[in-house]
Structure 1
Amino acid sequence: MSLSSEPMPGRTAAPPAPGHGYASSILFGVTALALIFRFCWVVLKYAVNLFFYDEWNAYASLFERQPLWRVFVAQHGPHRQGLGVVVVTKLLYFAHWNSRVQAFTIASAMVLAMILATYLKIRAFGPISAWDIAIPVMFLGLGQWEALLGATGASPEAFPLLLIVAYCFAWIEGRGVIGNVAVLVIHFLLIFTGFGIFIAGITLLLFGLEAYHGAKTHARWRTRTPLLSLAIATASLASFFYGYQFNPSVACYHFPYHDPAAYPVFLGLMFANFLAVKQGVILASILGMGIIVVVSSLLVVHIRALWKDSSADRASMLIVILLGFSLTFSAATAVGRVCLGPEGGRASRYLTLLIPAFLGIYFSILAIRNHRKRVVLAGIFILLLLPSCVHQNHKEIEAFSALKQNWKQCYLAHEDIRFCDAEANFQLYPCPECIQMKEKLEFLKRNRLNLYSDSK
């Protein structure tokens, strides 16, 4: 399949906007390259070769020599490890367990997701335009630095983001049995990879709509294929729950929460944080809730479009996937983390899986056929995104990196976990004895791995 500058057939696209051509391509290319460079520079400068917090659990298979399929299905907190941890585990073997490899892998996954999202836009809406700088701005903001440099690992956010874009491709590019197989394979990878589990409901909805429209036309092949796919997708979801134990990962978890009003506030702060609105709680949460209303309204509109005809508008399918996933993820996050208080909604790591929602908003704008309205809304959208691009989060990034580096240097000098926790004012793991951290650090020393393998 070749890269086409024309929108794919079988959808109702907005006509191409003026500004296509070399100037728009150059603007997009310069913006994307600058943000990619900044993204990679942050990893190169601030990633520290030291297992931290959840990484001791995520990569326990390195010490225990587990087969990769066990790593894939292993549960960590509320989700399973899946593809991200498998890939990073394999790479760590070849890099003396240098945990900077994880940061570079996560950055690569996000950059690749941005490139694929750009290609997806070209296939669905036509050639690169000046407005498309919104895509690298959304995907490569440093507001999500915790997903890059923190302890979340590759599976919870970065790899689900990449797989979601690939999932969108499978739906709009696939044809017949091959297309359904591609969707089902990516669906399986997603539900086992971190918070990709929240794609499950979208898959069941889309196959259900296809079966419904097939039944309306009395075409057996249009009914049987999606019904079979629906059954396989359901079986994949059921396999996720085999041996699963619910683990919210926070001691304060309680549902329903004693203050129901805290849920929308938490959600609002999550979405406002994506736009780098960090001052105050009330105004930020109101702005965020406004975005949620927009996202929810667009989702309903495009589900209705698919209900009328599941194949008439592939743009609607993309928008439903993107908006539906992020809404489900954010709602589940609010349920699981609302007890941490309003500031919990501003966690940096949540931003990565809100990217699909904002990409869905952008695609909704591109689908508007009225040129003037489309241009005005695209301009407003980019203006709203710019603060998140300009905000570099360097203070937080530098402080976190310095704490890890100080702990590492302390331990290399003293080899005393509790002493270094106090000396560096930084806890590497809340309960070192629970995971035999001292024994693992001794193993790393004997084999010159991880923090003992280099000076970074």
Structure 2
Amino acid sequence: MNVLRRVAQWLTALPPPIVTGLLALTAVLLAVRLLGLTWLLAVNVPFSDQWALLTRLYNGFQWSDVAIAFIWQHGPHRQGLNFSLVLPAYHFSDWNVRWDSLWTACVQLVAGLLALRLRRRLLPAPWSLWDAVLLLAFWGVCTFETVIVAPNASHSIFPLLLLMLLLNVWLAAPTPVNHLAVAVLVVCLGFTGFGLTALPALMLVGLIEVLRGTGVRRQRAVVVLAAGALTLLAFLHRYQFVVSAEGFQVLRPDPTDYLRFMAAMLSHFQLMVQRPSPWFLYPVGALLLAAWIAAWLWGVRRLGRPAVERDGERALWQVCVALIGCSLVFALLTAYGRAQLGVGAAMASRYTALLLPGLLAVYLLLFRHRDRLGPLLLAMLLLFTVRVVPETREAYLLGRYYAGMKLCWLEQYRASGVVAAADARLQALDTKAQFQHGWLGRQAQWDLMEQQRLGPLAPGAPSEPLLRIYPQPCKLLR
């Protein structure tokens, strides 16, 4: 511990220009990695869930579809604001799903910038080398499944952006315009993917502020409560409970399955290493889960006291309670819907984006006491620095595999024009046996794209960048 303390003291004593330069270099490298992998591995072939989203365009596009896209349900969540934005873009790009990957990567970058702004707003200290933790986490490629494999920012990355934006707006002066912006963002957050998981904690913060706050801050809290309640009621209107995983049970025979699943989720999120041993899977995730629960309960307790604390301290706890609450509810709901698949299913990259709010809260609480907790911040920085290697490796290898699967299937389809034949041929070539029928669409869908010249069949569709490196994509499946 003494060694860590000395190193932490040395790092905090670095001159500001050096710190700023190191952060800028880190940011550039991470942005290049995220955008570069996305550019290389994103393929203009609809895949898996994208086919369900494109059904909104089967009968053509009308601007009235934008409103319908906002409330469109896909799986257990609705598509919300992101789908309203991307639907016309899909139409005008002739169903080029590759641009959706680039859009999602850019959304993730902006969410990271807003997280950094939250740190500067809540804890107004100069840039610190510890802030690299937020860059490494928010600008990572651990979200590759949502960005590259089956891009859909509505699932979790766009809700992450909305949550970061909402909390930044919450910290602004409570004016009528600010009240309106908060209300709009609450509605958009509740309807966009799993952003709904942030509403319980946000409404709890609002309720405590109504009981303990004063003046215009209490008025804004009333706005949050009203907007949250109306959003939940509107969300449940004609809602159908859907669990897109086989073997779902209302309650598992062993309820500890949920805890093990959550611990595995968090361990994978922190370490980006997949191993079957329970001694490896659970302890790290269980430690973070315990820290989240303890910090959340302590934050609620602090907010429940009479408002005698400084505004900055109260705002910090409000934000941390909202952030941790979002990640806890998301992890719990994911475990509830997927625990029957086993802990292996917990290590899916699409579950990582909405675990970032909880990590941000932990970082803020540690950074607040950075003079005393420098060794913990250093350990956190080292963990996420080391994590870069397995994270990048997993994203590249699996992203390349699925890109090869799409391109290989397209090659087979172009040779026969029959979806069933392409499916059968791909299944024979896929030595990893990961391909599932239906992932690359049905015959009627490809007939429609043939007729209207859409997607990879559009005239003048550019060659995929990956084909310049791997001109025989079927070899990537071996």
- TM-score normalised according to structure 2 size: 0.86
Gaps of 5+ in 1: 1-16
Q: Find the aligned partners of 2:295 and 2:218 in 1 and give their Cα distance.
A: 28
3-state SS, counterpart of residue 57 of structure 1: helix
3-state SS, counterpart of residue 252 of structure 1: coil
Give 2:436's aligned amino acid: Q
Number of aligned residue pairs: 431
Matches within 5 A, 1:319-330: 319-330=320-331
**What is the root-mean-square deviation of aligned Cα atoms in Å?**
2.0
Q: Is the 8 A contact 1:272 1:287 kept in 2?
A: yes
3-state SS, counterpart of residue 60 of structure 1: helix
Q: Find the aligned partners of 2:228 and 2:381 in 1 and give their Cα distance.
A: 36
**Closer/same/farther in 2, CA of residues 285 and 448 from structure 1, 3 Å limit:** same
3-state SS, counterpart of residue 58 of structure 2: helix
Give 2:446's aligned amino acid: L
Between stretches 152-161 and 334-343, larger displacement belongs to: 152-161
Equivalent residue for 2:260?
A: 265
Q: Is the 8 A contact 2:38 2:147 kept in 1?
A: yes
**Closer/same/farther in 2, CA of residues 309 and 19 from structure 1, 3 Å limit:** farther
1:443 aligns with 2:474: no
Equivalent residue for 1:73?
A: 71
Equivalent residue for 1:135?
A: 134
TM-superposed deviation, 1:143? 2.3
TM-superposed deviation, 1:277? 3.3
1:294 aligns with 2:295: no
1:42 aligns with 2:51: no
Give 1:451's aligned amino acid: P
3-state SS, counterpart of residue 208 of structure 2: helix
Q: Find the aligned partners of 2:220 and 2:29 in 1 and give their Cα distance.
A: 45
Q: Is the 8 A contact 2:450 2:457 kept in 1?
A: yes
Q: Is the 8 A contact 1:82 1:193 kept in 2?
A: yes
**Closer/same/farther in 2, CA of residues 225 and 142 from structure 1, 3 Å limit:** closer
Q: Find the aligned partners of 1:41 and 1:228 in 2 and give their Cα distance.
A: 42
3-state SS, counterpart of residue 171 of structure 2: helix
Give 2:352's aligned amino acid: L
Q: Find the aligned partners of 1:282 and 1:176 in 2 and give their Cα distance.
A: 51
Equivalent residue for 2:421?
A: 419
Per-residue Cα deviation, 1:261-307 (whole angstroms, up to 9, x for no partner): 21111101100001213223412112211110011111112222222
**Closer/same/farther in 2, CA of residues 190 and 222 from structure 1, 3 Å limit:** closer
Q: Find the aligned partners of 1:438 and 1:200 in 2 and give their Cα distance.
A: 41
TM-superposed deviation, 1:222? 5.8
Q: Is the 8 A contact 1:174 1:180 kept in 2?
A: no
1:192 aligns with 2:191: yes
Q: Is the 8 A contact 1:302 1:316 kept in 2?
A: yes
Per-residue Cα deviation, 1:359-415 (whole angstroms, up to 9, x for no partner): 1111111122x61x2211110111222233222112212111111110112112211
Give the one of 424, 438, 445 matched to 1:429: 438
**Closer/same/farther in 2, CA of residues 261 and 419 from structure 1, 3 Å limit:** same
> Identity percentage over the alignment?
27
Matches within 5 A, 1:25-64: 25-64=20-59
Q: Find the aligned partners of 1:277 and 1:363 in 2 and give their Cα distance.
A: 25
Give 1:297's aligned amino acid: A
Q: Find the aligned partners of 1:168 and 1:447 in 2 and give their Cα distance.
A: 44
TM-superposed deviation, 1:169? 0.4
Q: Is the 8 A contact 2:149 2:399 kept in 1?
A: no
Q: Is the 8 A contact 1:58 1:81 kept in 2?
A: no
Between stretches 17-26 and 67-76, larger displacement belongs to: 17-26
Matches within 5 A, 1:104-253: 104-125=102-123, 126-151=125-150, 153-214=152-213, 223=218, 226-253=221-248
Give 2:438's aligned amino acid: Y
Give 1:106's aligned amino acid: T
TM-superposed deviation, 1:428? 5.7
Give 2:102's aligned amino acid: F
Q: Find the aligned partners of 1:104 and 1:149 in 2 and give their Cα distance.
A: 9
Matches within 5 A, 1:331-410: 331-368=332-369, 371=371, 373-391=372-390, 392=392, 393=394, 394-410=396-412
TM-superposed deviation, 1:196? 0.3
Give 1:150's aligned amino acid: V
Give 2:283's aligned amino acid: I
TM-superposed deviation, 1:225? 5.2
Q: Find the aligned partners of 2:182 and 2:380 in 1 and give their Cα distance.
A: 30
3-state SS, counterpart of residue 303 of structure 2: helix
Per-residue Cα deviation, 1:80-125 (whole angstroms, up to 9, x for no partner): 0111222222222232211001100110100111112112212222
Q: Is the 8 A contact 2:82 2:158 kept in 1?
A: yes
Equivalent residue for 1:3?
A: none
- TM-score normalised according to structure 1 size: 0.90
Q: Is the 8 A contact 1:411 1:420 kept in 2?
A: yes
Between stretches 375-384 and 18-27, larger displacement belongs to: 18-27
TM-superposed deviation, 1:223? 4.9
Per-residue Cα deviation, 1:113-160 (whole angstroms, up to 9, x for no partner): 111211221222222111111111001222221011122512001101
TM-superposed deviation, 1:248? 1.1
Equivalent residue for 2:278?
A: 282
Gaps of 5+ in 2: 1-11, 428-434, 465-478
**Closer/same/farther in 2, CA of residues 155 and 305 from structure 1, 3 Å limit:** same
Q: Find the aligned partners of 1:389 and 1:141 in 2 and give their Cα distance.
A: 8
Per-residue Cα deviation, 1:312-349 (whole angstroms, up to 9, x for no partner): 52111221121110011001100010011110111111
Give 2:340's aligned amino acid: C
Q: Find the aligned partners of 1:213 and 1:42 in 2 and give their Cα distance.
A: 48
Q: Is the 8 A contact 1:88 1:154 kept in 2?
A: no
3-state SS, counterpart of residue 243 of structure 1: coil
TM-superposed deviation, 1:431? 9.8
Give 2:404's aligned amino acid: A
